Structure 1
Amino acid sequence: MNRLITPQGKPSDYKTFAITQPAATHWLPATCEQVECEQWKHGWWSEFDTRTPQGQFQETYVRHSSGRAFRQVLERPNGEPLPAGIVRFEFAPGQQCFGASEHKIRLEDVPAVFSTRTGDYRVNTNPEVCSADGWVNQFLENDERLKKLRE
């Protein structure tokens, strides 16, 4: 990992504060409609180079397995004809995009996890989970400690 600032002290001189929302406990799979996906709202297009195995696979998938409504067009929106071997499919709005399996929504009723740990990124210590108020108090205390060290 690249760091902009190289630590001057030992790892034990530092305290790490984190607020996390783990995917397994704070997020659920979602549909394009739930996340207001731009492709679902407006439609989209895909071009494939059928001169390659990957392009051939993608074209076959769209035509026979994707389950999505599309129309094949022979030119780009600017009127330019497609080069030989390139296929372009346009997909109407209102259907799941090809990235739909990546869409997630946050569970609003599950609070974030507030934690602190001794040390910085160079050591792997177990985090201590605390309340939001406890985290803020520890953060403020640490900030005061750092101010005194700088003086």
Structure 2
Amino acid sequence: MAIIYISVGSNINAEYHVCAGIKALRELYGDITTSIVYESDAVGFEGDNFYNLVVKVTVDDDVETVVINLRIIEDNFNRDRSGPKFSSRTLDLDLLLYDDLILNKPHLELPRGEITKNAFVLLPLSELAAELLHPIEKKSIGQLWREYDKASQKLWPIEISC
């Protein structure tokens, strides 16, 4: 069994797609733990605001199976992969951590680089795993959040009804 963390995000009909993503993850994996949902400006392009959160799950699946399952869920909600990397998303599910596994493959980087680069990933992850040691940085997720330049990306908690 492995403990994994998944970022969930959307900026197209965001509340619907975030809730649908959470529901799909519950149907697939059973019991999940979710962070607070945050709203933030689009990063890297002009677009509608994003809703983001992080989900903690215990899985029996290997890492490749998890990634395939996340892609299937995204595809079920019409995720368009033909556009630029930074663009609007119906549903974005990214595997952030799979236990303390370190991978650097063309299709999979673990831990995911966005953990240390984006407040909308790091803050909700720190809510669920403040004491967890980042496998590469060798600092706790909580410490990484405390050291993060919070003025660089604004985000604010929101309530949604899932």
TM-score by shorter chain over 0.5? no
Larger Rg, first or second structure (1 or 2)? 1
Q: TM-score range by the shorter chain?
A: under 0.3
Report the TM-score, using the length of structure 2 for normalisation: 0.22
Report the TM-score, using the length of structure 1 for normalisation: 0.23
Q: Which has the higher contact order (CA 8 A, sep 6+)?
A: 1
